[in-house]
Structure 1
Amino acid sequence: MLALTQGPDDSHLTLHHLDAASGERLGHPSVPLDAGLDLHGPSGLLLKAEDRLVSASDARTGDLRWTEDGDTFTAAGDLVLLDGGRALFGETGEQVWERPDLFPTGGPGLAVGEDILVYESGDNGPDLVFRHADTGEAVWRGPFLRDEPEFGAPLPPLESLVADTTVLLPPLAGERERPTAVDALTGEPRWTYEGAYGEDGRVASVPGAFVLSTGEATVCLAAADGAERWRDDAGDTGAVRTTDAFAVLYRTKDERVFRRWTTVRILDAEDGRERWTGQFDSTDVSAPATGDGLTVVLDQGGTVWALRV
C-alpha cells in the first residue's frame, strides 16, 4: 500500500510504502512538492514527473524501469500520455502513437473496454474525450464543464463517472441542465436524472450503478436506465466515496467547542444496508482503499485504519 503525506513544515512530501497485510513500513522516500506522482495500475509502476523527466519505477522495490523526456504525464489504461501528444505503453515506455490534437488535463484517464476516456483542454473548459487506445483517434468529444474549474479545484476522478459502459455527466455544460447519462462507447445520450441533486452534481460509481448525493438524501441509480436502486435519507452527508462493494458516506461537524468529528458510514452498494459506522477525531478522512478483505482509510493525523467490514 502507498500513502502520500505532507510534512508539518510543508517543505516536502513523504511516500510511505506499507505492507498491506501487517502495516509494516517498507520505505518512506522524500518527494519534492512540485513532482507529479501517480501509480500506473495495469503495470504496478510508480510514475513520477520531475525536472522535465518522466520516470517509471517498481512501486515495491524502487527499481527504475524507464524514463522519457516530458514535463507532465497522464495515466490512461495501459498507456501513459505525455505532453506533445505522445502515448507510451506503461509497462515498457515504448511509444505507441502520437496525436497533435491530444491535450490531456486534469486527472488520470480511464480504460473503458479496449479504449480510453480522458479529460482534455477544450475551447472554454475541460472536455471529455473518448479515444481508440491503439491509434489515439477520437471517437467522441463533449464539454464536461462550462468554464475552467476554480483554481486548485480538481476534476472528479473519471472512475467515479463511469459504471459499466455508461458515463454520468454533471449539469451546467453544453446543453445539459441536469445530470445526464451517455453511452461511453458512442457518446449518445441514455437517460437524464430528473430528481434533486447537490450543488455540484457530482457522483460516485459502484458496479452497475451510480451513487448521487442530493443534499437531502443519497440515492443509488442503475447505470442502464437510471432506475432508483436504493435511497439513504441521512440528509447531512457531506461526501460520498465508493469501492467495488461499498458506498462510504462522510459527515464532519462540530461536536464540541474547538473539536470536530468525522462520522464515516459504510453501506452495502447493492442494497444500501449499513454495514459499519464509526467516528474519527479528525476533520478529514481519506477515500477508502480495499485489499485482502480490508477497507483502509487514512485520517488527518496520519493514522491508517484497516477495517474488516
Structure 2
Amino acid sequence: MDWLLAPPTGAAAQALRDELTMFLSRHAAEPAQVSNAALVASELIGNAVEHAGGPIWVTLDWSATRPVLAVHDLGPSFELGPLTLPEATSERGRGLWLASQLAKDLTVAAKRDTGKRVQVVLALTRRTESSFDPARRITNPLPAADEAGPHGFGREPFLRALVVELARTAETTHGPSAAEHLVAQVGATVGAQMEDEYRRARTVFDRLTPEQIAESYVRLKAAIDGDFYIISVTDEKIELGNRRCPFGDTVRQAPTLCRMTSSVFGGIAARNHHAAVVLLDERIAVGDPECRVTVLLGPAAQHTTGGHHYHAPPP
C-alpha cells in the first residue's frame, strides 16, 4: 500500500499517521504493539517532512510475516552509522534511535538518481486474511476502439485521468487495501485478455516459456505506452526495467496503480508456471527514476515469503 504526501505538511503527516494506525489496528495480531509501530512510522515520516523539502511517498508492504515500512523522498541521503541515545540537551537524533529500538532492520538507501529510502521492519505480525489473487471475469471490460469521437477531449488523457481518480477515490473512501483489491481485479482480467492476444499474435498454444512471458510483458506494456525492457531471463526469474509509466506522472498521485502491473505480470506467469511472485523493487510511482520488476516462477516463487503471490487457477 502506498500514500503520497504532496505537499508534505505537518497536518498531512498527522493524517497519514492516524490512517496507518487504524490500518495496523485492523490487521495486527498484537493490538498492544500497534502504538509502538505507529510511533516508529510517525518518527520516520516526521523526519522526511522536516528535511526532504518535497514530495514523500510512504509504502507499507505486509506480504511477509512482518510489515516493512518504507519512506521515500527526493531529499539528500545520509549514512545511518551507529545509533545511540542522544544527550538530554540534544534537540536531534532521538527519532531514528527510537525507531531502531522499537522496530528491526532500520536501513537508509540512496536512490539511483536523487533521494533516499528509509526502511524498517515493524514488530507486528498479521492476522490471516484473504489474498488479492482474483480470478478473471468473463465479461470483457475493455472499451471498443470506436467509442472515441473525432473531436473534443482526447480519449487517452480522459481514460488515464479516470483510472487514476477511481483508484484515489477508492483509497480515500474505503482505504488502501480496498483500492489495491480493485486494481488487482482489473489487472487479473485485463492481463488474461492480453495473454490471449499475445498467443494469437505468436500462434502459441502450449505453456509460455519464460522468454515468451518476458516478451509478452514488453509487448503489452508498449501497446499502452509503457517502456519496459528485459534485463535478464532464466527458468526461475524474469527481471525487467521500465523507463516510462503508462499512467504518466499522475501515477505519483496514486501509487496503488502499481498493483496493476503486479497483477497482470503475476497472473500471466502463474497460469503458465503454476505459481509466481512479483517483486516491485523500484517504482517511478514513489520517486525512483525507473521501475525494476522481478517475477519469480514456479518453485522459486513457492519458496519466497515476500512480494505479491499468484497461483494458477484450478482446472
Indicate the TM-score class for this superposition, using the shorter chain for normalisation.
Answer: under 0.3
The structure whose residues are more often helix, as a share, is 2
Q: TM-score, normalised by structure 2?
A: 0.24
Q: TM-score, normalised by structure 1?
A: 0.24
Q: Which has the higher contact order (CA 8 A, sep 6+)?
A: 2
